[in-house]
Amino acid sequence: MLIIPAIDIYDGKVVRLTKGKRENMHVYSYNPLNIAEKFCSLGVKRIHIVDLNAAFGEKNNRDIVKDIASSIDAEIEVGGGIRNLKIAEELFSCGVNSIIIGTMMVKSFSDFEKIVSLYKDKIIAGVDVEGKYVKISGWCENTSIDYVDLLLRVKDMGIKQTIVTDVSRDGTLEGISPLFYKEVALKTGLDVVASGGVSNIEDIKGLKKVEKFGVVGVIVGKAIYENKISLKEALCSG
């Protein structure tokens, strides 16, 4: 199972939000590249980067993303504010391995289809879920879209992997539900990366038990920064 540490960037700083709210922001580092290098020194194979400014429709942190992608050996996946083909191409030209698209799947499906037709194998469907419904625009907008219906639709387009974030748990250190992610994998047939709420090594071990059903990875953020979990131990457990 892939253990994927997260680097969320806002105004050039490494931060974590609680349930996606800016008013619940905590700064952990002023040097995202340094954090990425530390992760790589432990043997991380993939790093999850979210450009929060871009997700909120503000400026972007693309120069920082480019510095990270050009400086480390791990694969880089990037999400946040990818609203059109131009932005996708800019990220790929920066050396990013894959991009995570969420809001565009809901608001601009025709644009999403265009990107998929060009970069299918480099696209990860990012679905942020509260209850059973999808949230978009940096979790600022609710929808009435069932997340399973959306994932089945993009699967028909050839998308193979999804990151599913449980918004109600993200940044809370309340623990993660392996059975929820097992259900997502079984219902959609996609490779599922779990996100939101990881609090300790037992969460990693619990997800490992459902790996055979298609839960292929987990994103770990706040638990690392708060020293609730050892990334080195997590990598060994995964």
Supply the residues annotated as catalytic.
8, 128
What are the backbone dihedrals phi and psi of residue 84, each rounded to the nearest 5 degrees, phi first? Answer: -160, 175
H/E stretch holding 41 reads: helix 32-41
What are the backbone dihedrals phi and psi of residue 8, each rounded to the nearest 5 degrees, phi first? Answer: -95, 125
Amino acid identity at 152: L
CA distance 84 to 88: 7
CA distance 156 to 105: 13
Please give the structure tokens belonging to residue 86: 């131009």
Work out the burial of residue 179: count CB atoms within 10 Å of its CB; fewer than 13 is exposed, 13-18 middle, 19 or more buried.
exposed
Place of tokens 């059973």: 132
CA distance 22 to 69: 26
CA distance 202 to 175: 9
